[in-house]
Amino acid sequence: MGALHEGHLALVQAAIDAHCLPVVSIFVNPRQFNNPEDLRLYPRTTAEDLALLAAAGCKAVFLPEPSEVYPSDANIPETHLGELENRFEGSFRPGHFRGVSEVLYRLFSLVKPDLAFFGEKDFQQCAVVETLLQAHFNNISLQRVPTLRESNGLAMSSRNRRLSTSGREKAAGILKALQQAADGRQQGLPPNAAIAAASHWLHAAGIETEYFALADPQSLEPLNNWPDGNAVLLFAGYLEGVRLIDNLRC
């Protein structure tokens, strides 16, 4: 959706490394914002974005108008997201993933890529993309790219621009809290206890927690116990009025 940073450019590099011709779509999708103010404040830096993409080796940029993505005669089939639509991001942002699936259906239909590169910072969104591809685009393969972080550990995000300098330093505590909660596994703490301790630490740092939970990395089903296999810790919260998300596999 624009306001590009090194995390986005890492997706371009991943495409180059996969011997692909990188094509980037930039479109601030109104259908995935359940908060009109969030849509209004979303940064739009098209000229800067184009310069960054050219330097990164991007070969084509698709900058559609809303009328091109959503013409009056557009036929967008419903994608059944199941519980993905109701858990975590889906619960706190009603309609968000329906908007994501609709815009991606249109973008994939227009661009017709072979591979689609998405960052794991938006962990639940990756699961939504996989569901969409399985339902409608079996010829497109999802490539997950690890989260890129600033030097202090803060997950790169366009929203970080809205944080003050001190806020960006405080927000680095989100990764520390995720790591603290993950350490509870080795310490023999139940997940709820480990997460509660990490949440208390975040609250003391001025970060308001919206959700902080352990989940299955495929289904995103919430987990009350540490599994025998892999899991993921998911976080969303607010600092200085800016909503931030992050995650950590454990």
Q: Show which residues are catalytic.
A: 8
- The tokens describing 229, both together, are 């296999």
CA angle 240, 36, 127 (to 5 degrees): 80
Helices (H), 57-88: 66-69
- Any bridge partners for residue 238, and if so which? 208, 243
75 burial via Cβ count (<10 Å: 0-12, 13-18, 19+): exposed
- Of the CA atoms within 13 Å of residue 103, those in its CB half-sphere come to 20
Provide the CA 49 distance to its chain's centre, in angstroms: 19
In angstroms, how far apart are the furthest CA atoms of the chain? Answer: 57
3-state SS, residue 149: strand
> Which residues have C-beta within 8 Å of that of residue 157, sequence separation ≥ 6?
5, 7, 121, 244, 245
Distance CA 3, CA 46 (A): 7
